[in-house]
């Protein structure tokens, strides 16, 4: 038996959470150290899984572990990753690590940073969330996927309602949780339908993939299952919980939320919706494509008119996740490949965006773009980070966003050229708002009221920014660091789709 690396990754955050809750509340720095240690450990392990998968040219489900959980009902705990999920496991590790870094919190009366209020509980809930996310990406059992999915959603409610932005946190937490629960309940019904229809007495997705459900059944259940999960992916027109949720959440939670949780929705929609019900996917792809194309353009446009820094980033996520869905809807090689890379690329990029927004907000106590200015002089690292993130976001060649978006567009060309033309408008809109924002927030003159109130970044903040940027530039310059791996995942999906 090999080292059970995936279950260690999944349960490390959970164990750390328990450990932290056992610590006395006043031992704040010790609690934080546990959090950082656990996050680093999880990052290293997920990086190791990624590295092994890449250099050994693996394909299919690897690192598989199976444990009986409730054998009577055919529920097993099965972990395993393929070319689609391994990058997402790594992404979760990265976001978790950087999220801990930027919410570290230095207990300084004059320049408090990070999380000051009950860090012990904050990190504990954040880590339970992280366990859930790792679990979804690694699960090969449909029931377990749901199990971890709900584990990931619930702490979000507490994290936003307790540590969120005072003005909207209760509203946003409620809205988010209700939206996601409704979505997942609908999807769960679909999953149960699949379980009974298949009649294997098993939730093992590797078996369900082979179930060959009748075409009518697939067409009937595809939409509930796909859309139920895609709600969490921020698909238009069910996206509207997401900007509110992003804005109300504390920085690290926004990073998790936009960086990883939205991928969770998209990934589950792909794995359960498209991979288990391929005929349904073919039948409905035009509808998904329409939704996605609207999200891409409309999200970019709404982001363009925001004056709140964080809302702007929030809506830009809607636009970029629209691209992921757009790639799914093509059901062809390039489109799916692009989506796989885009999930990772957008995750890293948006985590960086929210981290920078948080750094600015912590210091300026406002997010109104017109009121900010000149931050680049005091926060050079934050501004370089935001610029690089911005370039990724507008799909600038040389960064990971281009590597992801270009094949998506190629895929769309293969299906419906008009959608490619319409969606490409978003690139210019994105460039316009990103550039305007960079100029208004980071350059120009700093308003007088901020003089002397803006403290420099901590070393931990800088480490977080550099880590995130390194991944975006690395993949942008050397696509072979990720693309071959995602391709193996795509091959599997295409096989299920009948080589379409």
Partner 1 sequence: MDFINSHLLSLILFLPTVAALVIFFLPKDEVKLIRWTAFAASLIPFALSVVVWVNFKSDASGFQFEENYPWYDAIRSSVHLGVDGLSLTMVVLTTLLTPLAILASFSITDRVKPYMMLFLMLETGMLGVFMALDLLIFFVFWEIGLVPMYFLINQWGSANRNYASLKFMIYTMGGSLGLLLGIQLLGVLFKTFDLQTIVQGWTSLSSSETFGQTFFTIGQVKAVAFWAFVIAFAIKVPVWPFHTWLPDAHTEAPTAGSMILAGVLLKLGAYGFLRLVLPLYPEQAQFYAGALAFLAVAAIVFGAFASYGQTDFKRLVAYSSVNHMGFVLLGIAAAAKASGTLDATIALNGAVLQMFNHGLSAAGMFFLVGVIYERTHTRNLNEFGGLFPLVPVYGGILIFTSMASLGLPGLNGFISEFLVVRGSWPILTVYTAVAMLGLLFTGAYILKGIKSVLHGPLNEHWAHGEHKLTEINTREILVMAPLMALILVTGVWPAWILDVINKAMVMLF
Contact footprint for partner 1 (CB under 8 A): 334, 337, 391, 394, 396-398, 402-403, 406-407, 409-410, 413-414, 417, 420-421, 424-425, 427-428, 431-432, 435-436, 439, 443-444, 479-480, 483-484, 487
CB of 432 to partner 1, least distance (A): 6
CB of 176 to partner 1, least distance (A): 34
Question: Which is closer to partner 1, CB of 371 or CB of 491?
Answer: 491
Contacts of residue 7, defined as CB under 8 A and 6 or more positions apart, other chains included, come to 65, 67, 77, 79
CB of 485 to partner 1, least distance (A): 11
Question: Which is closer to partner 1, CB of 458 or CB of 487?
Answer: 487
CB of 484 to partner 1, least distance (A): 7
Q: How far is it, in rounded angstroms, from Cα 53 to Cα 381?
A: 33
Question: Which is closer to partner 1, CB of 299 or CB of 411?
Answer: 411
CB of 211 to partner 1, least distance (A): 30
Phi and psi, residue 361, nearest 5°:
-65, -40
Q: How far is it, in rounded angstroms, from Cα 351 to Cα 384?
A: 15
Q: How far is CA 75 from CA 146, 246, 301, 390, in A?
A: 12, 34, 45, 44
Question: Which is closer to partner 1, CB of 115 or CB of 410?
Answer: 410
Question: Which is closer to partner 1, CB of 414 or CB of 474?
Answer: 414
- In three-state secondary structure terms, 63 is strand
Output the six-digit token pair for 165: 């932005």
Question: Which is closer to partner 1, CB of 435 or CB of 496?
Answer: 435
Compute the residue count for the chain: 500
Question: Which is closer to partner 1, CB of 36 or CB of 387?
Answer: 387
Question: Which is closer to partner 1, CB of 132 or CB of 373?
Answer: 373
- In three-state secondary structure terms, 403 is helix
Cα angle vertex 326, ends 322, 331, to 5°? Answer: 150
Q: How far is it, in rounded angstroms, from Cα 180 to Cα 230?
A: 9
Among residues 372, 328, 153, the alpha carbon closest in space to that of 242 is found at: 153
Question: Which is closer to partner 1, CB of 248 or CB of 379?
Answer: 379
- Number of DSSP helices (H) and strands (E) in the chain, helices first: 21, 2
Among residues 318, 167, 142, 331, the alpha carbon closest in space to that of 248 is found at: 167
- DSSP-assigned states of every residue in 207-230: HHTT----HHHHHHHHHHHHHHHH
Torsion of CA 475, 476, 479, 483, to 10 degrees: 70
Contacts of residue 452, defined as CB under 8 A and 6 or more positions apart, other chains included, come to none
Q: How far is it, in rounded angstroms, from Cα 141 to Cα 484?
A: 25
Question: Which is closer to partner 1, CB of 193 or CB of 431?
Answer: 431
CB of 169 to partner 1, least distance (A): 35
Among residues 200, 331, 224, 206, the alpha carbon closest in space to that of 278 is found at: 331
CB of 411 to partner 1, least distance (A): 9
Among residues 481, 345, 472, the alpha carbon closest in space to that of 404 is found at: 345
CB of 404 to partner 1, least distance (A): 11
CB of 50 to partner 1, least distance (A): 18
Question: Which is closer to partner 1, CB of 260 or CB of 343?
Answer: 343
Element (H, E) at 338: helix 333-364
CB of 413 to partner 1, least distance (A): 4
CB of 414 to partner 1, least distance (A): 6
């Amino acid at each position: 038996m090999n080292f059970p690396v995936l279950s260690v990754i999944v349960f490390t955050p959970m164990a750390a959470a328990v450990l932290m809750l056992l610590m006395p509340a006043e031992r704040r720095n010790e609690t934080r150290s546990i959090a950082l240690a656990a996050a680093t450990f999880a990052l290293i392990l997920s990086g190791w899984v990624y590295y092994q998968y890449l250099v050994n040219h693996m394909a299919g489900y690897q690192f598989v572990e199976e444990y009986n959980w409730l054998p009577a009902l055919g529920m097993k705990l099965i972990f395993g990753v393929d070319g689609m999920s391994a990058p997402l496991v790594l992404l979760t590790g990265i976001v978790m690590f950087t999220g801990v870094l930027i919410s570290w919190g230095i207990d300084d009366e004059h320049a408090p940073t990070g999380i000051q209020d009950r860090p012990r509980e904050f990190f504990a809930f954040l880590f339970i969330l992280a366990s859930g996310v790792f679990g979804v990406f690694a699960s090969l059992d449909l029931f377990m996927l749901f199990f971890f999915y709900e584990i990931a959603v619930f702490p979000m409610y507490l994290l936003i309602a307790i540590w969120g932005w005072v003005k909207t946190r209760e509203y946003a937490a409620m809205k988010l949780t209700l939206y996601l629960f409704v979505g997942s309940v609908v999807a769960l019904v679909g999953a149960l339908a699949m379980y009974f229809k298949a009649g294997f007495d098993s939730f093992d997705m590797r078996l369900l993939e082979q179930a060959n459900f009748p075409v009518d059944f697939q067409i009937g259940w595809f939409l509930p299952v796909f859309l139920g999960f895609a709600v969490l992916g921020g698909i238009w027109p069910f996206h509207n919980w997401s900007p509110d949720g992003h804005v109300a959440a504390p920085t690290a939670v926004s990073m998790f939320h936009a960086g990883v949780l939205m991928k969770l929705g998209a990934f589950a929609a792909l794995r359960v919706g498209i991979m288990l019900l391929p005929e349904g996917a073919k039948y409905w792809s035009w509808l998904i494509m329409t939704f996605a194309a609207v999200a891409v353009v409309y999200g970019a446009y709404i982001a363009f008119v925001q004056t709140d820094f964080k809302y702007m980033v929030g809506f830009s996520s809607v636009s970029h996740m629209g691209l992921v869905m757009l790639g799914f809807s093509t059901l062809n090689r390039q489109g799916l490949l692009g989506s796989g890379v885009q999930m990772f690329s957008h995750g890293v990029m948006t985590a960086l965006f929210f981290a920078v927004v948080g750094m600015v907000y912590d210091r300026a106590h406002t997010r109104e773009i017109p009121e900010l200015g000149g931050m680049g002089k005091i926060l050079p690292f934050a501004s370089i980070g935001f610029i690089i993130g911005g370039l990724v976001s507008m799909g600038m060649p040389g960064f990971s966003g281009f590597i992801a978006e270009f094949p998506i567009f190629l895929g769309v060309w293969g299906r419906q050229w008009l959608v490619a033309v319409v969606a490409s408008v978003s690139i210019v809109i994105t460039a316009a708002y990103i550039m305007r924002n960079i100029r208004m927030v980071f350059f120009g003159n700093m308003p007088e009221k901020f003089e002397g109130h803006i403290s420099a970044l901590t070393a931990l903040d800088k480490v977080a920014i550099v880590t995130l940027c390194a991944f975006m530039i690395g993949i942008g310059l050397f696509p072979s660091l990720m693309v071959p791996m995602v391709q193996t995942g795509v091959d599997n999906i295409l096989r299920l789709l009948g080589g379409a």
